[in-house]
Structure 1
Amino acid sequence: MKLSRQYSTGVFLILALSLVGCSGIPVSTDYDTSRQFPQLSTYAWMVPKQKLVEDPTVDNDLMNNRVMRAVDAELFSMGVKKATGDASADFLITYHVSAENRQSINSFHSSFGYYPCWQSCYRFGAHNDTYIRHYKQGTFMVDVIDPASSELIWRGIAGRRLTAKTPLERDAYVNEIVSAILAEFPPGRSASGN
């Protein structure tokens, strides 16, 4: 009896850990590999460039304030402080958010009897169901700029379905994606566990 409890506890822990691993947000980064990233302690906001095409879903004051609050909070938790001016900042930070319409197509085959088969097979009551779902995909991009040269030195990108319906859900959604992106900054931070 003790062995089966230990076994079931072990199986539960493995399943729980695999679910936690699946819930992460995939983030891709790009950065200047020739640059040394010293201890960065101060930052200032850089006003994002005006887009040619605006999307009112993500291009609005509510979203702008939400993203800036999330970035400020995340940098503060990393020990990075907001500088009093651009001249005293170790780096500038800005972001870009976009949303695009996408669709997912899923086909399911259901039948009573033997399936699959190659040429001929016994199928009783077989039918295919295809489901098309339309959704909006949000892409978040956080850029780190060198204040002296105005060059991009680091970029983090993550994308997710836009599912939040209420302001609180939108806050949580943005906080989670910004946290995932900035967990990769500066380069090597996530590998070192800091």
Structure 2
Amino acid sequence: MLTRLFSVGLLILLAGCSGMQVQRDYDPEFDFKPLERFAVVYPLKDGIETLTQSRIASAITADMTKKGYLSADKEHADFVIVFHTDVTTRKQVTTDFQMVGFFPYYGYGYGAAMTVPVQREYDYDEAKIIIDMLNPVGNRIFWRAVATDRLKHFDTPQERTAYINKVVAESLDAFPARGLEP
């Protein structure tokens, strides 16, 4: 299972841009204004760090720096950013209609025909990245983004990196710049 998540599932977690869905939520009582320094922390399973995890952490750091925040180690951070990834196999059922019976027979008139529904089932991998902002005091989540899409395969590391950067940017788009409220 671990191998599947990291080798197949995390080729880049999310599929084509057109189908990606991003959901965000935050604690309206949390005061964002004093936030200045952040640390990106992510769980390592059995000490394995994948290229994808490194790319996601780099993309988060770059995006948060653009928003005016400073990267720091966990002990000196005002808030901690944690991300998780997951890949799930889903089923999609489609229905189309096929003609059965006699079709138009040109020159000799028409025969009897009707359409019948035909269902087809497809398996696909759905990837998800969850980005949580945590208050180090009490480890409580105050902001969350979840991006979900079909798993997509890339030919080059540059394509993977560019896609990860886009997914992270869209996920963190609504997170306020330093000193602002959402």
Taking structure 1 as the reference length, the TM-score comes to: 0.66
Say which of 146, 158, 175 aligns to 1:168: 158
Instruction: State whether structure 2 residue 176 is matched by structure 1 residue 186.
Output: yes
| C-alpha displacement of 1:36 | 1.8
CA distance in 2, matches of 1:106, 1:68: 37
Which residue is equivalent to 2:84? 96
Unpaired runs of at least 5, structure 2: 1-16, 101-110
Unpaired runs of at least 5, structure 1: 1-21, 52-58, 113-121
Contact 1:111/1:123 (<8 A) preserved: no
CA distance in 2, matches of 1:48, 1:148: 19
| C-alpha displacement of 1:155 | 1.1
- Which protein has the bigger strand share? 2
CA distance in 2, matches of 1:123, 1:156: 55
Which residue is equivalent to 1:41? 36
Letter in 2 for 1:35: F
- Which protein has the bigger helix share? 1
CA deviation vs aligned residue, 1:45-71 (integer Å, no higher than 9, x gap): 2343759xxxxxxx7511211111111
Q: Secondary structure at the match of 2:89?
A: strand
CA distance in 2, matches of 1:47, 1:25: 22
Say which of 51, 57, 66 aligns to 1:77: 66
| C-alpha displacement of 1:91 | 1.0
Letter in 2 for 1:182: L
Taking structure 2 as the reference length, the TM-score comes to: 0.69
Query: Structure 1 residues 123, 62: CA separation in 2 closer, same or farther (over 3 Å shift)?
Result: farther
Contact 2:89/2:123 (<8 A) preserved: yes
CA distance in 2, matches of 1:185, 1:158: 14
Query: Structure 1 residues 123, 109: CA separation in 2 closer, same or farther (over 3 Å shift)?
Result: farther
CA distance in 2, matches of 1:123, 1:143: 61
Q: Secondary structure at the match of 1:40?
A: coil
Q: Which has the higher contact order (CA 8 A, sep 6+)?
A: 2
Contact 1:30/1:154 (<8 A) preserved: yes
Letter in 2 for 1:34: E
Which residue is equivalent to 2:56? 67
Which residue is equivalent to 1:149? 138
Contact 1:156/1:184 (<8 A) preserved: no
Contact 2:20/2:150 (<8 A) preserved: no
Contact 2:40/2:61 (<8 A) preserved: no
| C-alpha displacement of 1:183 | 0.5
Contact 2:40/2:81 (<8 A) preserved: yes
Contact 2:19/2:149 (<8 A) preserved: no
CA distance in 2, matches of 1:129, 1:64: 42
